[in-house]
Amino acid sequence: MTESTSRPGKIIAIHLNYPSRADQRGRRPAAPSYFFKPSSSLAPSGGTVERPAGTELLAFEGEVALIIGTRARWVSVDDAWSHVASVTASNDLGLYDLRANDKGSNVRNKGGDGYTPLGPELIDARTVDPTGLRVRAWVNGELRQDDTTADLLFPFPQLIADLSQHLTLEPGDIILTGTPAGSSVIVPGDVVEIEVDAPDAPGAPSSGRLLTTVTQGERAFDPAVGSMPSVDDLQREEAWGSREEAGLPPAPAKWTLSPEIRAQLMEAPTAGLSAQLRKRGHHSCFIDGVSANIAGTKIVGTAKTLRFVPFREDLFKSHGGGYNAQKRAFDAVEEGEIIVIEARGDASTGTLGDILALRAKARGAAGVVSDGGVRDFAAVAEIGLPVFSQGAHPSVLGRKHVPWDVDVTIACGGAAVQPGDVIVGDSDGVVVIPPHLVEEVVAETLAQEEEDAWIALQVEAGNPVDGLFPMNAEWRAKYDARDQEA
């Protein structure tokens, strides 16, 4: 290692970048976010790192470290990689006991002495493809992480270009580029090894194995001068990588729509469901202004929400491109869910098209409800994905909307919709049912449908509706006695 890398001016680390890690955490950011680490956290290969007294959740993270070779300010993505001198291995250690204390800045949980081991060898960046690197990590000889840079959320040149918009990257600065799934807790006595290599490059260059041994610290933090370590089950789950690895009981099961209730809802008309909801004081259960793209369609499912906000140039620049909220919603929709889109009732722009419809159908979505328009309308219908919307519109994203957020409470067609709400749509329209009401509402609806069918038979037989619809005592007695008569 060189002197310039032993004391860089800046160490910048990204929070999430590997799809495997993002999936493990259950979130995929639309843009990269960063934190700083102090240069005093650097450590060489073969060194030790202390787990402070009174703490339990020291975790390793194998990462690819980029070492800047030439000054970079306002560089393009195409030119960004030329500013990297070297690539090597790093262990972005973190103490989850202190994670909540600095609200994402990671000053204390990531900034401790020895928390950024680096090396041991440098790989010349000119000899490797930034998409062709591999990072692996072992704990006590057992392989724990093994991933490549082929499909990062934010490729390395993008990180350099992005950072260079905000600050000058100088020779010797280090960028830690994220860790894949497999990061976990380490304890005193554990030996962690990290290696970065380019297996398909000429000569298969490697950083060699970066070794760090965990030791037990003797000094505890002083409550008189700062916040103290604190852990909960969420920190344990994220530090270990899973509830199972952390020794925690399984998380409470997510509420789901049972096959039995789903089947009953398929039989229940929205007109009947809305009547039952009104009886229970729910008068704003309708998603107004939408109709089915496929005549006769019936949809039943739970809501996965997507929110658009009005178009604004700077907001679209920050949230409209890349892996935006719209793409995240369609990529993450689960079987039986219905994507419900808040487009503020504006039919003059498309809120999805054929590609996203294909993705939703492939994921097993039960349908889409949007209070905006749909582009590629005929193609979406041909795909067979049921969509309730305000109709066709040819415009692309960015005319009126900015995709803003997923899995939040939204307003669609005048109705409040929360993630997990039950959505039912048919030729009469679309209704929203709170999950805690769905069983009694559908049972009462089907009972009322049976009653209405019997009344219809009496009307067909020539009986007047007065006293029959609704039934008076005489007709009610006849209805109650129908099974005995049969």
* Distance from C-alpha of 211 to C-alpha of 225, rounded to nearest angstrom: 33
356 annotated to a ligand binding site: yes
* Distance from C-alpha of 223 to C-alpha of 245, rounded to nearest angstrom: 30
Distance of CA 236 to the CA centre of its chain: 20
**For residue 480, what is the enclosing H or E element?**
helix 473-480
* Distance from C-alpha of 188 to C-alpha of 467, rounded to nearest angstrom: 82
Structural contact between residues 160 and 83, judged by C-beta atoms closer than 8 angstroms: yes
CB neighbour list of residue 142: distance below 8 Å, 6 or more residues apart: none
Using alpha carbons, select from 46, 39, 17 the residue that is nearest to residue 30: 17
Residue with tokens 């009005």: 310
Using alpha carbons, select from 308, 310, 269, 320 the residue that is nearest to residue 426: 269
* Distance from C-alpha of 305 to C-alpha of 329, rounded to nearest angstrom: 8
* Distance from C-alpha of 115 to C-alpha of 241, rounded to nearest angstrom: 19
354 annotated to a ligand binding site: yes
CB neighbour list of residue 143: distance below 8 Å, 6 or more residues apart: 136, 137
113 annotated to a ligand binding site: no
**For residue 380, what is the enclosing H or E element?**
helix 377-383
Using alpha carbons, select from 64, 17, 10 the residue that is nearest to residue 37: 10
350 annotated to a ligand binding site: no
* Distance from C-alpha of 299 to C-alpha of 427, rounded to nearest angstrom: 10
Residue 136, Cβ neighbours under 10 Å: how many?
20
353 annotated to a ligand binding site: yes
The β-bridge relationship of strands 116-117 and 42-43 is: parallel
**Helix, strand, coil percentages in the chain from 3-state DSSP, rounded to 5:** 30, 30, 45
CA quadruple 14, 19, 25, 29: dihedral, nearest 10: 60
Tokens read off for 299: 């949809």
User: DSSP string of 206-273?
Assistant: B---EEEEEEEEEEEP-TTTS------HHHHHHHHSSTTTTTPPPPPPPP---HHHHHHHHHS-HHHH
**For residue 452, what is the enclosing H or E element?**
helix 438-460
Annotated binding-site members for substrate: 353-356, 375
Annotated binding-site members for Mg(2+): 376
Annotated binding-site members: 353-356, 375-376
